[in-house]
Structure 1
Amino acid sequence: MLRSVFHFLVFLLVMYAGTTMAQCPTNIGFEQGDFTGWEGDIGTIERNSGAITFTNHIIVNGLQSIITRASQQVDEFAGFKLASPNGSNAIAKLGDKTTGSKAQRLTYTFTVPANNNNFSLIYYYAVVLEDPTGGNHTNANKPKFTAAVFNVSDNKYTDCANFNFVSISNLPGFKFAPTQNSANQYNDIYYKDWSPVTIDLRGYAGKTLRLEFTTNNCGPGAHFAYAYIDINQNCTSPVTGNVICDINKPVTLVAPSGFLEYHWYKTKDPNIELSQSPTFSIFPPPEAGTQYSVRIVPYPNLGCEDIITTTIKNSNNLVFNVTPQLYACKTPGADITTPDITAGTDKDFTFAYYSDMACQDPVIDPKAITEARTYYIKAIADTSGCDYVKPIQVIFKQAPNLVIHNPHAVCKPNMVDVTADTITTGSTFYDKLEYYIDANATIAYQTPSQVSASGTYYIKAINSASGCYDIKPITVLVDELPILQTRTIYGCGTADITVDSVTRGSSFYGLPTYWKDAATSIPLDNPKAITASTTCYIKVANAADCFVTAPLTVKIFAYPQIQVTNPASVVFPTTVDITQAFTHNDTTSYFYYRDSLATKVLTKPETVTRAGTYYIKAINGNDCAVIERVKVDIAKPPDVNYSVNTFTPNADGKNDVFHIVIPAAIKLKHFRVYGSWGGLLFETSDAEKGWDGTSNGKKMAVGTYYWIFEGYDTYINQEVKKSGSISIVM
């Protein structure tokens, strides 16, 4: 199915019936290479209805553009040459391949001469399209190309002069385009080869008419249309060949090509059909004044049926001369259009240039031919229409063969000599070299032996004998030196001079190299571990191998000295002062930590209460630091002792009081004694006091009693609770 693109490659040939070229509107065929006489409009197409609204009366480059034959472009989808079949030098492009709900128009307004009632427009067009299907697409809002003639004098469009091509899939005569691009959604593209449309405007003498050419994308904006337009003015009858140019040759009448049917007859005898071909040859030539007519029948919906009448005329005796050979230089090329080529030819001729004798293959740029061969110049008499063809052989003179060897890159402040023999080694057929800044060799380079800046320059080789030359570019690279900045590096014990911070702010290519001497002849053995203060050298280069060297100062400082002696063992709650485990130095600062990475600060190094390994960090005035460990041995205190389970409170001085032995690490909260019935007999928070076997001054009887101890163990930092029994015996 046809889908998103609608291209119109439209080549239009407009012919006027008149008497002289002066009656043809100025630049109607873009021969000036611009839009002189033309007007442009930019607008939008409504999404659903397809109605077009023009909002800007302007010509926008890209939407309305001029393309010259010399550019030798082709359409990227259908492959058409962007050069008119009639050999004109320029065409116009209307629209582009970008999407969006846009429309663009070109118009040309002119007045038909008052004495000219035989006036026709013949459009040669080719169409490339992709039919968008589904969604909101209708025939009204699809991409299209429209051509129309508006009668300004009568304020209405002319009959049989208006048509449009809409991107629908069933248009007859279409082929699959050779170039598809699904990645960009330009696929399923179809095209139709060049075809004509004739619009009969006879009877419009003195009327003002406006040609209108319009392209629009689809209403939703995803599919586009564009056209190529060329209009060539002939200012003679649409039937050509009606002049007897040579009585020994037939007169061949040629009707506008590309129609469905042709019917030739003598005007005075319309019932006898003479031919059904687009061309009709008559030999021997008829008498001057004989009239012939041709009825042309267009394809459906492409114009109206028309009858064109022409009168046989005698030609004038015209002179057409062509220089048989042209010797030229391949650069800038042979120009077969210069007046001296046709010197002595009558002024009544218009010339066209071809690569073949049949004049079917126009020369793309006859002003700059670069292939040696025979070409053909066709001279067309402006008044009689007779044409003559003569050959011209293009021969190229001996031209220099310039070979360029780009010089090696150099480093500033060095310069390049592009005049050196090595630059043009292998070049031949020249006797002079010139040096320029521009490709056209118009701005001379004043100091080619001392090129101090990178760039593209140009050498021109000249063959003085032939006058031919060759121009070639030469690329020169004069590279900037790399930027190298070094910073003094400080180290404790050793230093790594390969770290990025040493050359921060520099600009170079690859990795630096490190040397003991400024001449960079003795490499540095181990730049990652410099162990003594020194001055060494760093060398860096850029992509062109330009290098610089810079000194680097390295300063190595000693680590502080610290000799640690582990403290003597103690029993908790006795503490240890690890600040006294070594001899202090006045130029060194000391810090204490609980981990080897020195991240967990020991807040009270003078009163360490727990056994373990601690760390001392010594930092001297050069910020060099060492970390040494110190081992602290603090024994765990004894537990609460309650091994005694009887006592004799008889006042004999022996075993009269029941005590629980409490170590210093445990802080007493309560010591209570209860009777067997649960009553509280004794309570104290003084660890020195014990129970003497009384309660409120009254001696308790022999028997078993129960005690409870509550305290806080400062070694393990948690509550302690003990209980047991004690018996009074006598």
Structure 2
Amino acid sequence: MGRLNFKIPGNIIFGILLVLSVDIARAQQGLCPPNMDFEYADFSNWTCNTGVVSLVNGTNVITWTGANEVPGQHTIIPSLNAGNDQYGRFPRICPNGSGYSVELGNNVGGRGAEKISYTYTIPSTAQGFSLLFHYAIVLQNPLDHIVEEQPRFQAIITDLSSGARIPCASFDFAASFGLPGFQQSTVDGSVIYKDWTPVTVNLNSYVGRTIKIEFITNDCTRGGHFGYAYVDINSNCNGAILGTTLCQGDNSLSLTAPHGFQSYQWYSDTRFTTLLDTFQVLPLNPPPSVGSVYPVIVFPYQGYGCIDTLYATISVATKPVSVAGRDTSLCKYQSVQLGGPPASGLMYSWTPANFVNNPILPDPVAGLRASITPTQFIVKTTDVLTGCFSYDTVLISPIVIDTAIRLIGNASFCDGNTEALLTLRNINAGIQWYNNATTISGATTLSYQPTISGTYWAQLAERGCTDTTARLNINVNPLPQAAFTVNNDTFCITNNSFVFTNRSTVSDNSPITYNWKFSDGSNLQTTHATKAFNSTGTYRTQLIATTSFGCKDSIESAVYVMPIGIPDFSWDTICTNRPVLFSNLSNENGSASAQYRWTFNNGGPGSQLKNPLPVTYTSNGTFNVTLQITTLGCESDPKQITKKIKVSSPLAGIRYKDITVPISESRVIKVRDTVGSIYNWKPHIQLSNYNSPVTEFFANGNDVRYLIDITDKNTCVTTDTFLVQILKKPGYYLPSAFTPNGDGLNDVITPYIVGMKSLKGFSIFNRWGNRVFYTAKYGESWDGKYGGTVQPVGVFAWILEYYTTDEKLITAKGTITIIR
């Protein structure tokens, strides 16, 4: 039966692990009964039981329900890689050199109980019979349980002839603090443990009787706590001590008493004459004579067995023959059988043990695995009864194929880049490249360049062997597909907000980072982007998508920021019923095109011309004129300007008092200067200046009716009328009325005489006969005042006296009216 391995789950475990180590030669005299030491690596000759533990009337009672080996409750543990106990940290294999262990129970609770037992009749011919067993215990120790409820371990040896338990050989440990030899676990404070402890049982007085050996474990009766133990029975049952045989060729001897006792006493002979030593090992050099007897008294720790005396009788024996086999060569991972057929009573030990399937077989199967250096295997063959041993060696040499593989470049790269080259250096081997488990067709050369992801390796064949290179993971990462959309490719400078929506993808859905680069020098590291530009122009927008593997793709597009126009205009002064020209002064800021809309209000219909046709206002007042400009790309943000214009009306024209100018004379005439600043006398005759409010009239023609166009600052034209008569026959001239109101028109009255010699006098009288004005000077005028006082409106009498050319005095009378 092969060795049993059972992995025990759970948090609460109850059980006792029993480990038993033994020698192999079982049929020779002095050895224990077959497989009592578990060296068959199974439970042959042992009886396995399982049961349930209960508390009955205050007593711990086990009801046995099963009579078969149960994996996980009865477990053989080999010495190789046995490890340490998880709670006590001591070895799980007995330190007496055993090859196998038994785990009895487990660390899972549930009121379980386990037992193994061995029944044996000691031959009546046996000269002596003694047992040496070892145990180690681990118990969980609940504080609220009475003793009969606790997990426990029992070791019992019974004389079946009498039914009595053999003293010093039976133990019953129930978990509790204060148990002698127990310690508290540093891993779990609820656990106590006892390290390996030996017990020797002298059964010489039971020769010819049948004995039963039992080891029992159980959980607590409530089902929630565990315990386990380790037990080992030595292979030698005759009380003999190791090293009693003087092997051929040896010149010294060392006697070794059983391990684990508190103290030892070696004596020189069976009469206990001289105490030789108090240690486990007694060295003898030179070796004693054959037949010499050296007794040793072994003293166990108190309460753990009885004092016993063992005898070492010196004998001589030849060394066994060791057979390791023939030297050979192996392919990697191949195996070969070493050694030879087994011989009774011999024990084998191979090194290195990790390169053979079982280091204690006479003919194990060996392999070098991946080793590339020759390995020497050594077999030690030991006679179990005498302890004599010999060595033999065999050299196993690997057939080494150079499987070195080299990656040139990168193991992870982006699709489309050939950055990885796999190369070999073995020019003597046949080559086949693989991707995972798939043969790559045609890939049989020293190099291969992967183009897709996979695990790449090569198989090499040389000298009848095949081997493989290391496996290299190559990741060919997909390129992302950069893509984006924009809400509008054209915006106005005054309100531009480009929203870029990322549409990038990658086939393996790996994370992608983004970098938006704008031609104004700015950038953003966001999935989506919103961007406004500060000036007009064409802007390139580039999106760079980069996967977590560094693979990149980019896309670029243009957007346009359009200039906005600044409206402005000017105009001439405006007068009703006169066309006015509006001049467009707008700044289009380089726009490709612009549209205009004029609104003139009372000036007539609007216009969409950049420079509108002249506009005529028919009424005066203040009006709003609006110019709106819409440049290309800024249709949603037209700009306009409104200005207030003043439309004036011309003043009413007046007719000035007619004047009479004697023929061939001149007269300065004046029109009002409060209307405007631009004058135009029409017709252009008989005047000294036609563009002034004051001019000189020359009476050298006919009467003239002048139209005086007076243009004000608003281009309004007021047309006044002035009639100038020419007095062509002799006599006098006086107007019938005048307006002395200080407006510069007809403010005085002056008598004119034509063809006469001289003026004698000119008098004016008011209605009461008072003379209010007199002059004898020709050309002097009356201003309508008397003594500085303004005369009232009314009719005044006048008397004009003048001389004719023949010195005749002429007197003329009349009236003149003051009008204000």
* TM-score where L is the length of structure 2: 0.45
* TM-score where L is the length of structure 1: 0.50
